[in-house]
Amino acid sequence: MKRLVTLALAALAGVCAAPASATDFSWSGFGTVGVAVSDRDYRYQRFIDRDGTAKRDTVFGAQLDARFSPQWSATVQATLAPAINSDSRWAVTPSWAFVAWRPDDDWLLRLGKMRVPLYLYSQTMDLGQTHDMARLPIEMYSITPTSDFTGINVSRSWPTSTGELTLDAYHGIASTSARYWTRDGVAPVIAPGQRYVDVDVRASGLVATLREPDRLMRLGVHAVRTSQTHGGQLPVTYPRVELAPGLGYYQVNNAIPGPGAPTVGAIHNIIVTAGAEQAFGDGWRITGEFARNFQRDTDFASSTYGGYVALFRQLDRFTPYVSLSELKATHGPMNWYRRLTENPLPEQIPGATQINQAQRIAAEGIWVADQRSIALGTSYALTSNSKLKAEWLHTHVGAVSRLIDTPPGQASPRDTNLNVFSLNYSFVF
């Protein structure tokens, strides 16, 4: 991959050597200022609680495009938003930094950092002005910690009568952070609260996209390999240690007595995504997306299915909408979450507190979710380049939701509802 980046830089240096007068520079800016407040004390989606927050949806970005010739160009985009590895800091992150070579109408080769077309609106998810929902449904748009990869993307396009069909093949790597929430921690080793684990992600994918004035369709298959940056091992399963008939625990780490837990250095996911947006007459439009995340290396890593369907009706400057979305983990991880949290050892047994705490933390490391939402909202086009949006989101949490930060000492919210009210202003120029 280093060679790839070196090649990209060499190509960039080559095209930058073109006469400055022949280079066409253009730039654009975009942003969203958003506030969201819920009717719950606990935090949802990192930041949203009863106190309200501007951190969930606010983002600012700028993009510079340099066209050296009809075939050669380069793009750099950076965004300012809450950091992906901290709940308190903001960070400037390069989303795009690539060189593009387009030898003819049909082929496009890009080298560098890009946002891959994982979801229907992956590449424009930071551009609130380009869509009408106040927030793209988390049940769909949270299946991976990032969709920004450094690597290569080859596109082949075929013109249709009013648009184009594109096939994208990509391969890339990303260094990012996976966020875990620890309710109680284990003093003094692990503090309660958010915990970020650095991970390396390697992804390859094949995505077909049909883009026409009234229609957008996308079908993708992505192979993702994830490992911990600092070489940490990932558990495959937790052996059961029986202390007496019907009484026992799971050996969640090798500091706890037991036969030893098998581990792997990396996990592999296959993610299949499908999405479509279709406009009908009289301002009606429907959008739907679905993702299935397969994982078979361990009993615990992300293995989910999620999606949503949304209906829009444009009425002059207003576009009201309703969306229904759902995210569920498969039975395997859900069953493990229950085993680790619902049958603690009696406190009278020596060492039970430590074992129960360790099991709790192990459960919190499992990517589980069981939730569905309905959102009612509207966008209002202030100008052709800016939108105001308002939304009421009602989420039902079933067995558990990893998107909720359970306060220390409290039971994890389950079989409950929460409401989120959002107001956003998005612009592009």
Partner 1 sequence: MKLIARWLCATALLLLGATAVFAADGDAIVIIGHPGLPPIDAVMVERLYTGRAIEVAGTPVTVVNATLGSASRRRFLAAWLKLDDDKYGAYWTVRRHIGKGAPPRELGTTAEIVEFVRATPGAIGYIEWGELKPGMNVIGRP
| 326's tokens | 């759902």
Question: Does 314 participate in binding partner 1 (rule CB under 8 A)?
Answer: no
Q: Which is nearer to partner 1, 31 or 235 (CB)?
A: 31
User: Closest distance between partner 1 and the C-beta of residue 36, in Å?
Assistant: 23
Residues 349-388 that bind partner 1 (CB under 8 A): 384-385
Min separation Cβ 114 and partner 1, Å: 6
SS3 content of the chain, % helix, strand, coil (to 5): 10, 55, 35
Query: Do the Cβ atoms of 252 and 358 come closer than 8 Å?
Result: yes
For partner 1, which is the closer residue by CB, 88 or 384?
A: 384
Nearest Cα residue to 59 out of 87, 93, 37, 31: 31
Q: DSSP letter for 5, please.
A: H
Residue 36 vs 108, nearer CB to partner 1: 108
Q: How far is CA 278 from CA 136, 141, 265, in A?
A: 17, 20, 42
Q: Would you say 195 or 211 has its CB closer to partner 1?
A: 211
Which amino acid does the sequence have at 98?
F
Name the minimum Å distance from CB 319 to partner 1.
Answer: 13
Q: Across the strands, what pairs with 29?
A: 62
Rounded Cα distance between 140 and 366, Å, is: 18
What mask, x for binding partner 1 by CB under 8 A, covers residues 74 to 113?
-x-x------------------x-x-x-x-xx--x-x---
DSSP character string of 395-429: EEEEEEETTEEPPTTSPPP-SEEEEEEEEEEEEE-
73 contacts partner 1 (rule: CB under 8 A)? yes
Query: For partner 1, what does the binding mask look like between residues 385 and 424, x meaning CB under 8 A?
Result: x---------------------------------------
Shortest Å distance, C-beta 129 to partner 1: 7
For the CB of residue 92, give the shortest distance to partner 1 in the complex, in Å: 17
- Cβ partners under 8 Å of residue 176, min gap 6: 84, 85, 145, 146, 148, 198, 199, 201
> Which residue number, 265 or 283, has a Cβ lying nearer to partner 1?
283
Taking CB under 8 A as the criterion, the residue among 114, 134, 375, 404 binding partner 1 is: 114
By C-beta, is 95 or 304 nearer to partner 1? 95
DSSP 283-329: GEEEEEEEEEEEE-SSSSS--EEEEEEEEEE-BTTEEEEEEEEEEEE
Residue 168 or 364: the one with the smaller Cβ distance to partner 1 is 168
204 binds partner 1 (CB under 8 A): no
123 binds partner 1 (CB under 8 A): yes
Q: Decide if residue 26 touches partner 1 (CB under 8 A).
A: yes
Tell me the CA distances in angstroms from 196 to 58, 70, 182, 403, one per residue in order: 21, 43, 11, 14
Q: Which of residues 172-191 bind partner 1 (CB under 8 A)?
A: none
Contact (Cβ atoms closer than 8 angstroms) between residue 176 and residue 146: yes
Q: Which two tokens stand for residue 255?
A: 């500091």
According to CB under 8 A, which one of 46, 67, 339, 372 is a site residue for partner 1? 67
Distance separating alpha carbons of residues 274 and 222, to the nearest angstrom: 12
* Selected range binding partner 1 among 156-164, 267-275, 316-324, 340-348, rule: CB under 8 A: 156-164
User: 6, 10, 24, 322: which one contacts partner 1 (CB under 8 A)?
Assistant: 24
C-alpha 169/C-alpha 149 separation (Å) is 13
Number of residues that bind partner 1 (CB under 8 A): 35
What is the contact surface with partner 1 in residues (CB under 8 A)?
Answer: 24, 26, 28, 30, 63, 65, 67, 69-71, 73, 75, 77, 96, 98, 100, 102, 104-105, 108, 110, 114-115, 117, 123-124, 127, 129-130, 157, 159, 164, 384-385, 428
